[in-house]
Structure 1
Amino acid sequence: MDQSESFEDGLTALLPRLRRFAHTLSRNPADADDLTQATIERGLRSQAQWEPGTRLDSWLYRIMRNLWIDTVRSRGRKEDLHAPVEQAEQIGEDPRPAIEASIDLQKAIAAMERLPDEQREVVGLILIEGFGYRECSEILRLPIGTVSSRLVRGRTALLQMMGTPHGD
C-alpha cells in the first residue's frame, strides 16, 4: 500500500468523526456538511504537508477548526448559527432506547449548544471525541493549562445547565 492509499483510507475512516466534530463547531447540519466537505477537500489538496507517522485525525481537526474560524469571520457573526432543537435531535443515533435517555440527550445537546465556542471546542474534542489534553492542546494550538481550564469551565457549565450536581 503506498502513502496515498494509506492517507485516503485514513481519511475515509475518519469521516464520521469529522462530521461529528463539524456539528460540534457549527451546531447546524448543513454547515456541518459543508465544513466536513471543505475539510476533506483541503486535506486532499494539502496531503503533501501531512507527515506520515503523525496523527491524521489531529491534522484534519486542526484544518477543520481553522476553516470554521474563517467561515465565522467571513459571516461577520450576522447570521444566527443556532440549530433548532428538531435538527439537533436528528444528529447521530440515541444509543439507549429508553425515553429517559432521549431526554438526557436532548438536555445535553441543548446545553452543549449554549457553551461559549472556546469551551464547546475543548469539550467536543476531549469528552466526545476522546482526545487527550496534549492532543487537544496541539489541535487548538493552546497551552495545556488553557485547555484544562476551558474543559473544567465547560464541564461545570454543562452539569449546571443539565441540573446535575457535581463533586468538589
Structure 2
Amino acid sequence: MPDRTALIEEQIPGLRRFACALLRGNREAADDLVQDTLERALSHWNLRRNRGNLRGWLYTILYNRFLSDQHRVRRRGPHDALTEETELPGIDGGQHSVLEHRDLLRAFAALPEEQRAVLLLVGVEDLSYQEAARVLGVPIGTVMSRLSRGRERLRRSIHGELDEKSRHCSAALQRVK
C-alpha cells in the first residue's frame, strides 16, 4: 500500500484547481489554502477512516478551511491580496476566443460561492453529487439545486453578455450605413 504522502500528492492538482477557483484566480492564496489543507490532513491522518474516501476528505478539509478564512475576512475586513483584481490566464487562439474565455471566467467568478463550489466539484473535479454533498456538508438535493441554478446563471450571464455585445455591434453598424 502506498504511503500517505504519495496518496496525498496525487490529489494536489485537483485541490489547487478547486482552491484557485474558490479564490477567484488568486494563485498565491490558493497555494496557501492547499498547503494549510495538506498540513491539516497530515496532522490529523490518524483520525481518518482507513478505507474512507481520501479525495472527499481532502476536499472537505479544503472547503472548510476556505469557509473559515472567509468568515475571518468578513470579521476583520478584507485583506489587499484577497480584494485585488486577479489576472485572467491567457489562452491560445484568436482574440474572439480569448474574449469568450475571459467572459466565461468573469461570469464564473460572479457566481455565489455556493454555486461556484458545486460547479467546481461536480463539473471540474468530477465528484459525484453524493461526494460533493459530503464535502460541502449539505443534502444531495441542495447540491442538485445549486448546480442547476449555477449552470442557469452562467448560461444567462454568458448569453446576456453576448446578446448585449451583438446589439451594440449591430447599432454601430447601422450608424455607419
- What TM-score does the superposition give when structure 2 sets the normalisation length? 0.80
Residue 85 of structure 1 deviates from its aligned partner by: 4.7
**More helix by proportion, 1 or 2?**
2
Task: Give the match for residue 148 of structure 2.
Answer: 152
Residue 115 of structure 1 deviates from its aligned partner by: 0.2
Separation of aligned partners in 2, 1:153 and 1:114: 13
Task: Give the match for residue 84 of structure 1.
Answer: 85
Residue 128 of structure 1 deviates from its aligned partner by: 1.2
Task: Give the match for residue 69 of structure 1.
Answer: 67
Q: SS at 2:11's partner residue?
A: helix
Of residues 138, 141, 144, the one that matches 1:142 is: 138
Task: Give the match for residue 18 of structure 1.
Answer: 15
Separation of aligned partners in 1, 2:17 and 2:68: 19
Task: Give the match for residue 8 of structure 1.
Answer: 5
Residue 55 of structure 1 deviates from its aligned partner by: 1.5
Unaligned ranges ≥5, structure 2: 163-177
**Letter paired with 1:8:** T
Unaligned ranges ≥5, structure 1: none
Residue 82 of structure 1 deviates from its aligned partner by: 4.9
Separation of aligned partners in 1, 2:126 and 2:83: 24
Does the C-alpha gap of structure 1 residues 104 and 130 become closer, same or farther in structure 2, counting only changes over 3 Å? farther
Residue 53 of structure 1 deviates from its aligned partner by: 2.1
Task: Give the match for residue 44 of structure 1.
Answer: 42
Residue 52 of structure 1 deviates from its aligned partner by: 2.3
Separation of aligned partners in 2, 1:83 and 1:21: 19
Aligned-residue RMSD, C-alpha: 2.0
**Letter paired with 1:14:** Q
Residue 151 of structure 1 deviates from its aligned partner by: 0.5
**Letter paired with 1:18:** L
Q: SS at 1:163's partner residue?
A: helix
Residue 84 of structure 1 deviates from its aligned partner by: 2.4
Separation of aligned partners in 2, 1:53 and 1:37: 23
Give the percent of matched residue pairs that are identical in Structure 1 and Structure 2: 33
- What TM-score does the superposition give when structure 1 sets the normalisation length? 0.84
Task: Give the match for residue 31 of structure 1.
Answer: 29
Task: Give the match for residue 98 of structure 1.
Answer: 93
1:108-127 matches, cutoff 5 A: 108-127=104-123
Write out per-residue CA displacement over residues 22-76 of structure 1, whole angstroms, 9 at most, x where no aligned residue.
1121112121011011001001101111222222110000000111111111112
